[in-house]
Amino acid sequence: MVFDEILSALLEHDRMNYQKIVALGIRRRNARIRLDKLKRKGFVREEGRKEWKQGKQLFYSLTDKGREEFFRQALGNIKQSLRDIDRIAAKVFSDPKLLEEWRDSAQEAIRKVAKNDTVPLPKRIEQTARMREGNFGSFRNALRTMHQISLKLFASRKTFEMFEKLHEDFYLQVKENGVIDIISENEILKHTDIPVTSM
C-alpha cells in the first residue's frame, strides 16, 4: 500500500495552500481532482472557498477522519512489511536448531559483557549497544520506534516521563492477557539475574 502523498504532506505541515500541494510534484489538474476526492471522502477540509476570487489562496488541512485514514494506511504498511519479513525469516531460518543456536550465542555474548565487572557500566552499555546494532540494525531500529510509540500510547504519564528523563531504552513484554510490562534495558546490566527471553 502506498501512502497518499497529499495526506502525508498535510499531516506534516498541518495546513497548506494549493500551490504548495502542486509543488509536491503533482500536476495541477491531478492535484485538483485528488483534493476534490479527498474532500468528498471527508479526509481534507478546504478553507476560503466562499470568499475565493482570482488571486486569493485556498488552504487545506486534514480532518480527524483524514488523520484516521493516514493511520490506517500506516498500519497497513506495517502489516505488509511484517508479513514480508516473516516470509524472509521463514526461508533464512528454516532450521529451528540453527536458529536456537544463533539466539543462544547472541544472548550469551551480551551476558558476558554485562557480567564483566572490570569494565565500567557506561562502557558495558556502549559495548552491548554495538553488538546489538550489528545484528539486524534496521530491524532493531524499527522495533525501538514501535516500542517508543507503545510507551506513549499505553504507559501512564508518570512512567513515560520517567523513561524520557532517563534517556534509556527499555524492553516490552506483551502478556497473553494484554498486559504490557516495561523494564529499563540498563536494569538488566545492573542486575544480571533478571531473566530476559529476548534481546
Q: CATH number of the domain that 62 lies in?
A: 1.10.10.10
Burial of 79 (0-12, 13-18, 19+ CB in 10 A): exposed
Q: Are residues 77 and 112 in the same domain?
A: no
Query: Residue 1 pLDDT more than 50?
Result: no
Q: Are residues 60 and 137 in the same domain?
A: no
Residue 83 has a pLDDT of 87
| Domain finish residue from 92, 113, 148 | 92
| Cell numbers at 46, concatenated | 478546504
Range of the domain at 186: 95-190
In degrees and rounded to multiples of 5, residue 17 shows phi and psi of -90, 170
Residue 167 has a pLDDT of 62
Residue 133 has a pLDDT of 66
Query: Is there a domain that residue 197 lies in?
Result: no
Whole-angstrom Cα distance, residue 7 to residue 150? 23
Instruction: Render pLDDT for 87-119 as a digit per residue (tens, 0 to 9).
Output: 877 766 777 776 777 677 667 777 777 777 787
Asked if residues 35 and 22 have their Cβ atoms less than 8 Å apart, the reply is: no
Mean pLDDT computed over 67-83: 86
Structural domains of the chain, count:
2
Computed over every residue of the chain, the mean pLDDT equals 76
Residue 169 has a pLDDT of 63
| Domain finish residue from 92, 108, 135 | 92
Q: Are residues 4 and 87 in the same domain?
A: yes
